[in-house]
Amino acid sequence: MVRGSLRVGTPPEDGDLVVRSLAEAAWGIYCSAEYAEAHGMPIDPQQLSNHPLLGFEGFLADAPAGQWIREHGAKSLPAGQSNNLVNHLQAVKAGIGVGALPRIEGDSHLDLRICIPDMTGASQTVWLVMRRDARKDKAVSELADLVIARVSALKRQFAGSPRSKH
């Protein structure tokens, strides 16, 4: 039986669960350094129509970042879609087009350029979810405390580090 988990998005509503907000995970639009050098970078949503845009499918298409992409990138050239963030990251890094990534991930890759640092409305809350009785288990309690401390230390990165545009 799962006694706890990290969830992103809407917290579950269950009386047997204790839910704690840990951080806000912001998203931004990125491209590879090579892409930026060859094609320039969109610096606002209106400029997305001048660039091939990597979109989402599956559950990512319904998430706030996927909805933002559909709304702001409707006139963009489609460069591909993914339902997997690892594949999506690799497509951005390969220079296939511009794409949305969580800021904590995109900002950690020095070979990526942040094009649009604020996808307003696309951020999601990271939650710690535990069964109400799980805190009584010493190992679960210690792990929860460790997760809380680690995510708290990374709040700025989740929100988007102050890394400047390139």
Q: CATH 3.40.190.290: which residues of the chain?
A: 27-116
> Rounded distance, CA 67 to CA 101, Å?
13
> Rounded distance, CA 59 to CA 45, Å?
23
The 17-25 sheet, strands edge to edge: 4-8, 124-131, 17-25
3-state DSSP call for residue 55? strand
Token reading at 64: 């706030």
Q: What is the pLDDT of residues 128-161, one digit of tens each?
A: 998 888 878 898 889 999 999 999 999 999 999 7
> Rounded mean pLDDT of 78-89?
93
Q: Is the confidence at residue 87, as pLDDT, over 90?
A: yes
Q: 27-116 has which fold? A: D-Maltodextrin-Binding Protein; domain 2 (3.40.190)
Q: What is the pLDDT of residues 42-60, one digit of tens each?
A: 999 999 999 999 999 999 9
